[in-house]
Structure 1
Amino acid sequence: MWALRRASISLRNQGYRVRTSYFFGKLEIPYSSEGNVAGFGTTAASSDRCISFERNNLATWPSSRIYISSHGLSSQAGAENSGEEDNVEDGFSELDETLPSTSPLEESKATNDNVEELTSGSEIDDDDDDEVDDGTQNELDLPEVETELAEKISKKGAPSALFKAIWSASDLSVPRVLDKWVSEGKDISRADISLAMLKLRRRRMFRKALQFSEWLESSGQLDFIEGDYASRLDLIAKVLGLHKAESYIANIPKSFQGEMVYRTLLANYVVVKNVKKAEEVFNKMKDLGFPITTFACNALLHLYKRADRRKIADVLLLMEKENVKPSLFSYKILIDAKGLSNDMIGMEQVVDTMKAEGIELDVSALSLLAKHYASGGLKDKAKAILKEMEDVNTKGSRWPCRILLPHFGELQMEDEVRRVWKICESNPYIEECMAAIVAWGKLKNIPEAEKIFDRVVKTWKKLSAKQYSTMLKVYADNKMLVKGKELVKQMADSGCRIGPLTWDEIVKLYVEAGEVEKADTFLGKAVQKHQMKPLFTSYMRIMDQYARKGDVHNTEKIFYKMRLSGYVARFSQFRTLIQAYINAKAPAYGMKERMKADNVFPNRDLAEKLAQLDAFRRTAVSDLLD
């Protein structure tokens, strides 16, 4: 049994920082909440009788009713659009003619601010499912209706005629194809349904999966259970949006409105990093008397790792009070959180605790360690981890190659890239090709990357935008604007569906070429025409460049656009915005109040930046001198 207990509270830096530590087994997990900085209120500590994740207004609740709360306040940046934007030029205007119009409600899944586009572009092959999951897929994906039988069939690479019939149908003809299937006397067992649904989801064909689910219920081909309703809710969230998904719960029979349904909704709010709604759903689950599960706690840990790492300690305390045992995924989140904070010692403590609890590191956990060691400049430790990853692969499976290749590229280990690629080269999976392209791109060996990409284009009849974007990223990282334009035209000519992931690389191409205005114009026109939400990083690339130039107006404009797109204000956005005012030597009136309204609190560095802005305030004397 693991132990989780609060260890200490110490005040440091004369009120600038409140540091609280918890012990996770034998591991100290510190977080810091910034209180009493630059005019902000102090931070209260959680009492023994409650857990609240609200930093500046903690409430006491009985231990049987542990709540999580958060502010929903926001501020308007107030920047207006600077008039009509120019047309997109220089090879990217083809996108306007080739992108299909998309419903503004359609959402795609985000992971660490990266979104996979909704595509159905991968070529169908019966042996697709021979590929072993590398364990790095989003572990918050809720269990769909797939049964253990479907998983076993899938792993054996068994074909699914039902899936192929749905896949080959147009978006509007799925019900008609299924009606024909039944009229021809073909059986539809739950195993067939589960396998077809599994394959549709793996290819991110969520719209067809939703139509399939709706047809199953309306035609009476399947007696729905809670898992089927949870799967439907998940598909609605992905295709129609979370508002529709939440409303759908009222249509589910009361007897099936169980924990699985609500945790599905929770996971989808976590995916889009909506802290307020995720916490509301968690509290609702508590109100309904559902047990606090490892899944629900992992969802919150994952959310706070991405949105507010100070709250991780609160979740750990909650897990201790409710005797919720951490899973391998729990530890992976903590490893990643420590690595992102550049706390290598803390990261190693998490690993030690895992081992003490008898939990083995899998390849994806080792990959996280290697990534953070490399980014932290500890290359020898990263190399040792990569060696361990290969040793773990005792069964001789090839799938770790796709993880190893980018790591070897990042560490500039060209000989290792060649060695691993040689293992796959004779008959590679498309994921291995993509990994090799990434590796050669990091080594700045563009001809090798292009050679593999050309092979991909010739081997697979239809590529998704994600696969094109892999090569586009290589060009963007190496500031090859002309090559990037040519590739985008190739994407357009192929009829490839292009969305936020590709937009991000196009924005990066322009920004790296020093053309931030064109990047801004392109992104604005893409959003306006296709009503899709850009990646957080797309906005930040542009915002950072405007800030460096001291262009306060356009920095505020991007800040405002991000809010309109649904992104909740974060520390990084305010840091960039404040830097724009500093570079412009202009006062930022009301900045502290704006940050406080968005529940964003400065650390010591940002407090110093805020103090710099005071020097630019206008006074009666300065007006006279002007």
Structure 2
Amino acid sequence: MWAFRRASHPLRNHGLSISILRVHSPKSDWSCFGDNAVIVKSSQASPGRYPSLERSYCLTSCTHRLSMGSRCLSTQAGAESSGEEEDDAFAELEEPVSAKAFQKGDSADESDNELVSELELSADEDAEKASQNELDLPENETESTKKKSRKTVKSELFEAINSAPGLSVQQILDKWVEDGKEITREEISLAMFNFRRRRMYGKALQLSEWLESSKRLNLTEGDYASRLDLIAKVRGLPKAESFLNKIPESFRGELVHRSLLANYVTASNVTKAEETFNKMRDQGFSPSSFSINQLLLLYKRLDKKKIADVLLLMEKENVKPTMLTYRLLIDTKGQLNDITGMEKIVDAMNAEGIKPDIGTQALLAKHYASGGLIEKAKAVLKEMEGGDLKKHWWACHSLLPLYAELGEADEVERVWKVCEPNPRLEDCIAAIEAWGKLKKIQEAEAVFERMLKTWKISSKHYSVLLKVYASNKMLAQGKDLIKRMADSGRRIGPFTWDSIVKLYVEAGEVEKADSVLTKASQQNQMKPMYSSFMSLLDHYAKRGDVHNSEKILYRMKQSGYTARIRQYQCLLNAYAKGKVPAYGIRERLKVEGVTPTRSMEAQLAQIDPFKKTLVSDLLD
């Protein structure tokens, strides 16, 4: 079960030595522990707390695992998060490439999405979606819901609220009751599902608040957990913390704390996430696969040296990995181009009887392609098709961009023809992106026009074509599309700003992109996306423009984005390119809680104003 912990390569240079005594099974390459103990020791043990996990324990009941013998496990303190090349095989976990394996909403209004740009902190959107489904809130999408027909799951209550934008949710619900219509838990859950699917969290929160004030239903812990989650998304984490204290003690259980933990992870707040995790353990809640996966998501982004500790904790507590656990670790190995390690994790999955889903298969195909293993990538794509793509139509939106990544225009056309008679919105989005990658702009525009005629799309969906124009440096066409979007009355929000910023940046007009983002955020009082800032920071850094690089970093902090290694790597690059000494930079990194990686240490040495040279040594 724990083959993925050390698949393919021993870890090095971390200062944590773990010796494992294992008994080999004569039947296969797996080891079976049976009644034999696994002894793990560390001088850094701190019993019962996280992240300083207790590491001296015995396991007496374990399932099949890969035989690794006695190894040396290491978790380098300087593991980085940006994908820069490092020496260690498993410590350098990188951001996953989104396989877009989950269904998105058929329509979305950015006016209801003002405070969700935290999801853009990384490329972990698929993992975020999967972890939200694991949270098991009452209105979460179920497997049966996912596999229903292409039609959106209908909710009369949702339609009533959504079709009356001039009225408050409370007014609509009061009238609903006055008209003699029944409020059932099924109807509420269905409405909530539709609101969440479209990220219309504000209206979902109003519905939740009305539900409590009207006392129409007996609330459960799941209802309180859902409410806390919505408060965190709409009003911020401090308000969610306050709400937690107001929840009746009998309903303040594990599910409520899971909800808070998930939102801390989404906000990349390491301190609060660890405090919540430890609080859950103090209250007697055993670590679950959900909470463990949240830690993996968090440390995958921000503090990779702790990943090995999380895996040790899973082994100690006998927490079984879920599909999301495997997906995160498969993606890690793939990003490192460790194809052998990636395949061993897949073997471990199969040994546990867990079959890779579409999203996991998409990751495998993506990494095979990136590693130059084109035939293996194609073989996985054929598996995703299931022998008859018309019967496996839900795979289309994953297949389209993957075939485009391989440069297979004919295959993209073939898959699109399967979708074309009755496409879903996500199929159209994937097709636009695929044609854009292949530089077939007319085909992308044709799909967009069809999408425009079929659905009432939001500015977010305009942004898909806008990004195609940006990546192909088509500034004039991008400007025309923006004007068309504005003329249609679409509200322009963070998703659109992000596309506009990239449009100007790719056209070489970085100052214009900066000006647009500044004016947009000031006028609309909305939080720009992380990627919008990073597009500007990257280009200012490449120019050696220290002043503007510092300015962007300051604006990111003002917008609420926590310090991350990636930001400071760009900043150090700006100082190096500009040949400007960086006074006090090490102290800044320490205050921000950023541990320099090896590549950053080289940058720091280069821009050190007090560095010694051969000449300075002679003069001294």
Q: Give the TM-score band, short-chain normalised.
A: 0.7 to 0.9
Question: Aligned pair 1:540/2:560, yes or no?
Answer: no
Question: Aligned pair 1:337/2:337, yes or no?
Answer: no
Structure 1, residues 396-448: CA drift from partner, whole Å, max 9, x if none?
13110011001111111000011001111122111111111111000000011
Do the aligned residues in 1 keep the contact of 2:540 with 2:574 (CA within 8 Å)?
Answer: yes
User: What is the one-letter code of the residue matched to 1:573?
Assistant: Q
* Partner residue, 1:139: 131
1:515 to 499, 509, 520: 509
Structure 1, residues 583-607: CA drift from partner, whole Å, max 9, x if none?
1112112222222333323333222
1:565 to 559, 577, 582: 559
Distance in 2 separating the partners of 1:601 and 1:428: 47
Question: Aligned pair 1:450/2:459, yes or no?
Answer: no
Question: Aligned pair 1:386/2:419, yes or no?
Answer: no
Structure 1, residues 28-73: CA drift from partner, whole Å, max 9, x if none?
9xxxxxxxxxxxxxxx96635548766xxx6979989xxxxx9xxx
CA deviation after TM superposition for structure 1 residue 478, in Å: 0.4
Do the aligned residues in 2 keep the contact of 1:11 with 1:19 (CA within 8 Å)?
Answer: no
In structure 2, relative to structure 1, the CA distance for the partners of 1:449 and 1:21 (3 Å cut) is farther
Structure 1, residues 64-109: CA drift from partner, whole Å, max 9, x if none?
9xxxxx9xxxxxxxxxxxxxxxxxxxxxxxxxxxxx9979983445
Question: Aligned pair 1:113/2:102, yes or no?
Answer: no
Q: Give the secondary structure class of the aligned counterpart of 1:139.
A: helix
CA deviation after TM superposition for structure 1 residue 231, in Å: 0.9
Do the aligned residues in 1 keep the contact of 2:470 with 2:478 (CA within 8 Å)?
Answer: yes
In structure 2, relative to structure 1, the CA distance for the partners of 1:311 and 1:61 (3 Å cut) is closer
Question: Aligned pair 1:471/2:465, yes or no?
Answer: yes
Q: Give the secondary structure class of the aligned counterpart of 1:138.
A: helix
1:590 to 584, 589, 592: 584
* Partner residue, 2:96: none
User: What is the one-letter code of the residue matched to 2:138?
Assistant: V
Q: Which runs of 5+ in 1 are unaligned?
A: 29-43, 65-69, 71-99, 117-133
Does 442-451 or 586-595 show the bigger shift? 586-595
* Partner residue, 2:482: 488
In structure 2, relative to structure 1, the CA distance for the partners of 1:370 and 1:165 (3 Å cut) is same
TM norm structure 2: 0.80
TM norm structure 1: 0.79
CA deviation after TM superposition for structure 1 residue 481, in Å: 0.9
Correspondences of 1:278-427 after superposition (within 5 Å): 278-391=273-386, 396-427=391-422
CA deviation after TM superposition for structure 1 residue 151, in Å: 6.2
Aligned residues: 547
* Partner residue, 2:68: none
CA deviation after TM superposition for structure 1 residue 612, in Å: 1.7
Distance in 2 separating the partners of 1:3 and 1:417: 36
1:237 to 208, 226, 232: 232
Q: Give the secondary structure class of the aligned counterpart of 1:463.
A: coil
* Partner residue, 2:160: 165
CA deviation after TM superposition for structure 1 residue 542, in Å: 0.8
Do the aligned residues in 2 keep the contact of 1:27 with 1:353 (CA within 8 Å)?
Answer: no
In structure 2, relative to structure 1, the CA distance for the partners of 1:566 and 1:301 (3 Å cut) is same
* Partner residue, 1:580: 574
Question: Aligned pair 1:228/2:223, yes or no?
Answer: yes
Distance in 2 separating the partners of 1:550 and 1:421: 44
* Partner residue, 2:170: 175
Question: Aligned pair 1:555/2:564, yes or no?
Answer: no
CA deviation after TM superposition for structure 1 residue 273, in Å: 1.8
Distance in 2 separating the partners of 1:245 and 1:229: 11
User: What is the one-letter code of the residue matched to 1:257?
Assistant: R
Question: Aligned pair 1:275/2:284, yes or no?
Answer: no
* Partner residue, 1:95: none
Distance in 1 separating the partners of 2:393 and 2:422: 11
In structure 2, relative to structure 1, the CA distance for the partners of 1:546 and 1:247 (3 Å cut) is same
In structure 2, relative to structure 1, the CA distance for the partners of 1:260 and 1:52 (3 Å cut) is closer
User: What is the one-letter code of the residue matched to 1:373?
Assistant: Y
Distance in 2 separating the partners of 1:378 and 1:293: 36
CA deviation after TM superposition for structure 1 residue 393, in Å: 6.8
Do the aligned residues in 1 keep the contact of 2:498 with 2:532 (CA within 8 Å)?
Answer: yes
Q: Give the secondary structure class of the aligned counterpart of 2:394.
A: coil
Question: Aligned pair 1:256/2:251, yes or no?
Answer: yes
User: What is the one-letter code of the residue matched to 1:113?
Assistant: S
In structure 2, relative to structure 1, the CA distance for the partners of 1:504 and 1:45 (3 Å cut) is farther
CA RMSD of aligned residues (A): 3.6
Do the aligned residues in 2 keep the contact of 1:266 with 1:299 (CA within 8 Å)?
Answer: yes
Do the aligned residues in 2 keep the contact of 1:150 with 1:195 (CA within 8 Å)?
Answer: no
Distance in 1 separating the partners of 2:574 and 2:551: 12
Do the aligned residues in 1 keep the contact of 2:565 with 2:596 (CA within 8 Å)?
Answer: yes
User: What is the one-letter code of the residue matched to 2:572?
Assistant: I
In structure 2, relative to structure 1, the CA distance for the partners of 1:249 and 1:171 (3 Å cut) is farther
Structure 1, residues 131-152: CA drift from partner, whole Å, max 9, x if none?
xxx9994333432323999966
In structure 2, relative to structure 1, the CA distance for the partners of 1:172 and 1:313 (3 Å cut) is farther
Does 574-583 or 332-341 show the bigger shift? 332-341
In structure 2, relative to structure 1, the CA distance for the partners of 1:324 and 1:551 (3 Å cut) is same
Distance in 2 separating the partners of 1:607 and 1:135: 31
Do the aligned residues in 1 keep the contact of 2:112 with 2:202 (CA within 8 Å)?
Answer: no
CA deviation after TM superposition for structure 1 residue 155, in Å: 3.8
Structure 1, residues 531-568: CA drift from partner, whole Å, max 9, x if none?
22222221111111111111111111111222222222
Do the aligned residues in 1 keep the contact of 2:448 with 2:465 (CA within 8 Å)?
Answer: yes
* Partner residue, 2:602: 608
CA deviation after TM superposition for structure 1 residue 296, in Å: 0.4
